[in-house]
Amino acid sequence: MIETVINRGISSLRVEVDHHSSGIKRCQIVVQKFRNQVEGFVDDVMQTACGLHNVRLELQR
């Protein structure tokens, strides 16, 4: 019984993380193969994609 409650909690958290991950992947630069060689640019791209996702969430409220 207690395992069922724990599993439901984990499952709902997993679904929430999956939804955020797919929201970030709306930016195609995150999904496609990245060929840029500039140092630290990958981090900047991911930060920008996450920021855009957060803005979309705020505008939906």
49 and 30 Cβ atoms separated by less than 8 Å: yes
What pLDDT score does 48 carry?
A: 95
Calculated CA dihedral for residues 37, 40, 44, 45, nearest 10 degrees: 30
pLDDT (0 to 100) of residue 35: 87
Q: How far is 36 from 22, CA to CA, in rounded Å? A: 23
pLDDT of residue 61: 82
User: Does the pLDDT value for residue 59 go beyond 90?
Assistant: yes
CA 50 to chain centre: 7
pLDDT of 1: 85
Extents of the domains making up the chain: 2-60
Quote the pTM value. 0.76
5-46 residue pLDDT tens: 999 999 999 999 999 999 999 999 989 988 888 898 989 999
Q: What is the DSSP string of 18-47?
A: HHHHHHHTTSHHHHSPP----TTHHHHHHH
